[in-house]
Amino acid sequence: MSEVVMPRLSDTMEEGELATWLKNEGDTIAKGDILAEIETDKATMDLEAFESGVLEKHLVDAGSVVPIGTPVAIIGDGSGTADAPKKKDPPKAQETPQAEEPSKAEEAPQVEEPPKAASRNQASGKLRMSPVARKIARDHGIDPATITGSGPQGRVVRADVEAAISQQAASPTAPVSPSATAARPAGAMIPGSDEEMPVNRIRKVAAKRLTESQAVPHFFLTSVVDVEKLLAFRSDVNESLEAQGIRVSVNDLFVRAAAVTLRHHAEANSSWGDDSVIRRARVNIGIAVATDAGLLVPVVHDADTKGLGAVAQETVALAEKARDGKLSPDEMSGGTFSISNLGMFGIDQFTAVINPPEAAILAVGAASPVPVVRDGVLVEVPKLKITLTVDHRVMDGAVAATFLRDLVAVLEHPLRMLL
């Protein structure tokens, strides 16, 4: 008999929500089977069985949020020896064994007063909702707190959201009160109520890490890059890779150029270790990806050893997994340097926030034509601005400036990134 515990599925994970049980009590389990889906601070991941046997007991219900290391199930030989751990099944009951019955008796009449959705929130202290239901609600502008869940422990599932969408479509828009219209001056704004949006774990963790980042003493360096040769190089590369169905983006070129440059600048490929500077042996580039749930930074590992085609394929796959919430722990861990590109949104220049414990992050802006005199003739040359945010504890200004200068040289002479 062995306990299945809530695993640590990311470097920032402190707790996880057991979203859905995929195996029932009494099911025969083979090593490697997926027991449940776990919603972490970054994505929805699979809980895998590490040994074969019989799933004798669920120790937590679907929708429960538990700390890492907490037992969630028991796998045995089917003899029913899991009865002993059953005593510690509901931890809340152990915390208040004497007060539980009186409190229920006192609160019972009060639970009926609010609507079911509010009652559920008050009882659990947390809105329980499956990831797919949350996405559908968000896409249709439905406030999850207004939906009554039909799943375990009042969990809101897909069917509940779809019913709410149908009800919303069938309900006519509430008319504006004539008296209110008459009393309102022409051109005045229609008063409304503030909307409090629930924050998912991804955004909570991001907020925590960004707050930590602000405590880092940092500075910024900006350079202008002539990308005329870079864009022509990209066009040639894509033409040569067209038969393989591979298309290299401008961001892929920055990933590869940064990786090649970091290979010769160990100071920039480092992190702060309290009382020491840690030089990273591998060059792993994090790429900032915006998702509906929040900002994620999947990692291209060993980017300095991969060709442009391999980098392009990997970045596409990682971005797709990030948006679908399917990134694995390894795909989100181990970054040594990050790149954030907002050029596709028309942003000329910005500063990015360091992703601890990395020592630097590169912000890439949009390319735009700049007038330049060449051989006495005024021509337009595409240029863009890049800004390096640096942890001053790891790098001094001159060291960071040297790295940025060499990175610009690789970008302006793109054949160097093939070396």
- Which of the residues are catalytic? 392
Rounded Cα distance, 68 and 329, in Å: 14
What's the chain's length in residues? Answer: 419
Asked if 385 and 223 count as a contact pair (C-beta separation under 8 A), the reply is yes
Q: Around Cβ 71, how many Cβ atoms within 10 Å? A: 17
First to last CA, the chain: 55
- Rounded to an integer, what is the distance from CA 153 to the centroid of its chain? 26
Q: Around Cβ 69, how many Cβ atoms within 10 Å? A: 10
Asked if 320 and 271 count as a contact pair (C-beta separation under 8 A), the reply is no
Asked if 318 and 251 count as a contact pair (C-beta separation under 8 A), the reply is no
User: CA triplet 249, 254, 257: central angle to 5 degrees?
Assistant: 125
Which amino acid type is present at position 92?
K
Query: 258: closest CA among 353, 333, 358, 381?
Result: 358
* CB-count exposure of residue 275 (10 Å: 0-12, 13-18, 19+): exposed
Rounded Cα distance, 401 and 168, in Å: 57
User: CA triplet 150, 154, 158: central angle to 5 degrees?
Assistant: 45
Rounded Cα distance, 39 and 129, in Å: 10
Q: Around Cβ 15, how many Cβ atoms within 10 Å? A: 14
- Rounded to an integer, what is the distance from CA 238 to the centroid of its chain? 30
